[in-house]
């Protein structure tokens, strides 16, 4: 059972709540889905990798595996194979949620196809050397995918519902590559506008930025597990993929979360505010970039 709850608190504070987590076959999406399951939620986990089919070169993991982990954590996991660049598949996903559950309490927009195909130019190459399809992937399988899921989810969201867009953010500093920087800041700005549009309906919309995560791929590369990974000198600043999940649970169970609507939040800062720790017992501080690339 997750330790995100305070002493004497409800160990299943999201029992009866319905969530959709996009891009949940691995990494942050999986960590978020599992923590929601530990809090008792029903979680629809979506992604392209399902069954024996792994759709990316960025590591193993399927929505079926994540749904099983949600079940094991104490929730109900529902695996849905969905390509979030296909509008028809996205529409079918939310039609299914409506038919089976009658509404939606939480949407986590986490899908991100922007890292695929990185055998081309380096991530931080000057913008004129960046391949155009990298920009397209970050917007089609990132920014647009967040928008499309939110548009189809909106009719299902009632008062008290929450939408969270995962992003990358360090106090508006430059993120090291123009396509990436523009895409992530677009995701963040989208939150502000959606928060305004949904305000009268009582729906809260937030952007949430994790730090440097120990993804399944990274753990495999270093041969470490989450309990001791921070002891490796190269991984001292990292956090598990469950850490951002605990931040989502804290937000979803905060009766005053609407006061944060439209804001960009960091996992490390929320850990201090809501008094939770990572799976290794540490409270990892908010992520900061190693240098400031401001012009002034």
- Report the alpha-carbon distance of residue 64 to residue 176 in Å, rounded: 34
What is the total count of domains within the chain? 1
Q: What is the pLDDT of residue 291?
A: 65
Instruction: Give catalytic status of residue 118 as yes or no.
Output: no
Selecting among 135, 180, 192, 243, the annotated active-site residue is: 180
Task: Look up the CATH number of the domain holding residue 209.
Answer: 3.40.50.720
pLDDT bucket at 26, cuts 50 / 70 / 90: confident
Asked if residue 293 is part of any domain, the answer here is no
- Is residue 117 over pLDDT 70? no
How remote is the C-alpha of 258 from its chain's centroid? Answer: 19
**φ, ψ for residue 123 (rounded to 5)?**
-55, -40
Residue 286 lies inside a defined structural domain of this protein: no
- Chain-centre distance of CA 194, in angstroms? 17
The total number of residues shown for the chain amounts to 296
In a domain, 164, yes or no: yes
Would residue 7 count as lying in a domain?
no
User: Picking from 5-9, 24-28, 187-191, 233-237, which range would have the lowest pLDDT averaged per residue?
Assistant: 5-9
Q: How confident is the model at residue 2 (pLDDT cuts 50, 70, 90)?
A: very low
- 56: confidence class by pLDDT, cuts 50, 70, 90: low
Structural domain range at position 207: 18-274
pLDDT of residue 1: 29
For residue 11, is it within any domain?
Answer: no
Mean pLDDT of all residues in 111-136: 82
Does residue 32 lie in a domain region? yes
Helix (H, G, I), strand (E, B) or coil at 84: coil
Mean pLDDT of 70-94: 97
Residue 174 lies in a domain: yes
- As given in the structure block, the two tokens for residue 255 are 């009766």
Q: Is the pLDDT of residue 7 over 50?
A: no
pLDDT at 103: 98
pLDDT for res 4: 38
Specify if 105 maps to a domain.
yes
Measure CA 168 to chain center.
10
């Amino acid at each position: 059972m997750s330790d995100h709850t305070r002493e004497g608190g409800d160990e299943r504070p999201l029992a009866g709540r319905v969530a959709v987590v996009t891009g949940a076959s691995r990494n942050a999406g999986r960590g978020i889905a599992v923590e929601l399951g530990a809090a008792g939620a029903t979680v629809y986990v979506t992604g392209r990798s399902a069954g024996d089919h792994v759709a990316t070169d960025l590591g193993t993991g399927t929505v079926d595996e994540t749904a099983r982990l949600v079940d094991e954590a104490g929730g109900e996991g529902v695996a849905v194979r969905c390509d979030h660049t296909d509008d028809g598949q996205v529409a079918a996903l939310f039609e299914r949620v409506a038919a089976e559950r009658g509404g939606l309490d939480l949407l986590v927009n986490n899908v991100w196809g922007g890292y695929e195909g990185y055998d081309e130019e380096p991530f931080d190459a000057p913008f004129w050397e960046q391949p155009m399809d990298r920009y397209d992937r970050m917007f089609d399988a990132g920014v647009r995918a967040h928008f499309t899921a939110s548009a189809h989810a909106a009719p299902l969201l009632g008062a008290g519902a929450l939408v969270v867009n995962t992003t990358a953010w360090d106090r508006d500093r430059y993120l090291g590559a123009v396509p990436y920087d523009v895409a992530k800041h677009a995701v963040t700005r989208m939150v502000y506008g959606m928060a305004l549009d949904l305000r009268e309906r009582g729906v809260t919309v937030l952007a949430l930025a994790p730090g440097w995560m120990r993804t399944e791929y990274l753990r495999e590369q270093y041969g470490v597990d989450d309990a001791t990974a921070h002891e490796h000198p190269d991984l001292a600043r990292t956090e598990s993929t469950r850490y951002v999940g605990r931040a989502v649970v804290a937000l979803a169970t905060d009766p005053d979360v609407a006061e944060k609507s439209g804001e960009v939040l960091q996992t490390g800062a929320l850990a201090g505010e809501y008094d939770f720790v990572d799976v290794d017992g540490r409270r990892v501080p908010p992520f900061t970039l190693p240098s400031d690339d401001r012009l002034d």
